[in-house]
């Protein structure tokens, strides 16, 4: 059996296809939107890899849970990306997975669990500390950029999936809490912002 090639050459002219087969310019804002979703997923993969391979961290059940939880998040981002890559009127036809309110609640519950063993934050902190924590901050900022693009799309086209913006908003909060949690577990002190004089 002949193996299918990874390249199709169909995008060589600067266009790409949506789920329903419609062709759009790769410069279209919708392509930028779900491309940013893909970028976020890739960055999150780096965070997860750091958590898996970091031998310095004191592992416990909550740490191990994050590795599984982040993989679940990555699947939910694929769900959201597939919805964005399909015209709203065709989403049901292709039986695409929806973003549920329960996903937002799950993020909130995990954030609360990560924050529970740590002291309340009283200052702005600088990204840094461990490699995993620094990458979690990168994920947080890409998440915020994706959120801005989602809001812009929502205001212009009103075709952003229900709970999509709330999910991404909460996801950036999750990565902020995760960055603190990882540093906490590794004994890294938070680097406090010191305003210039």
pLDDT surpasses 70 at 125: yes
What domains can you pick out in the chain, each with its CATH number? Answer: 24-117+127-186 (1.20.1200.10)
pLDDT class of 58 with cuts at 50, 70, 90: low
pLDDT at 5: 76
Q: What share of the chain is helix, strand, coil (3-state, %, to 5)?
A: 60, 5, 35
* Interior/surface letters 162-178, b for 16+ CB within 10 angstroms, e for the rest: ebbbbbbbbbbbbbbbb
d(CA 157, CA 144): 20
Residue with tokens 């229900």: 162
Q: Of all helices (H) and strands (E), which one includes residue 149? A: helix 131-157
pTM of the model: 0.90
pLDDT class of 97 with cuts at 50, 70, 90: very high
Q: What percent of the chain has pLDDT over 90?
A: 58
């Amino acid at each position: 059996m002949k193996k299918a090639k990874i390249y199709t050459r169909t995008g060589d002219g600067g266009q790409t296809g949506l789920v329903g087969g419609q062709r759009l310019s790769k410069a279209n804002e919708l392509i930028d939107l779900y491309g940013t979703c893909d970028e976020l997923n890739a960055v999150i993969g780096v965070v997860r890899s750091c958590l898996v391979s970091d031998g310095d961290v004191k592992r416990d059940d909550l740490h191990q849970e994050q590795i599984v939880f982040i993989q679940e998040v990555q699947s939910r981002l694929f769900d959201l990306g597939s919805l964005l890559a399909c015209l709203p009127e065709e989403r049901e036809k292709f039986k695409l997975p929806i973003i549920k309110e329960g996903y937002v609640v799950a993020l909130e519950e995990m954030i609360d669990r990560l924050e529970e063993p740590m002291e309340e934050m009283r200052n702005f902190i600088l990204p840094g500390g461990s490699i995993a924590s620094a990458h979690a901050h990168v994920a947080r900022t890409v998440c915020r950029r994706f959120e801005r693009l989602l809001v812009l799309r929502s205001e212009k086209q009103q075709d952003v999936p229900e709970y999509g913006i709330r999910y991404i908003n909460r996801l950036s909060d999750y990565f902020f809490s995760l960055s603190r949690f990882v540093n906490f577990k590794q004994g890294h002190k938070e680097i406090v912002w010191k305003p210039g004089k």
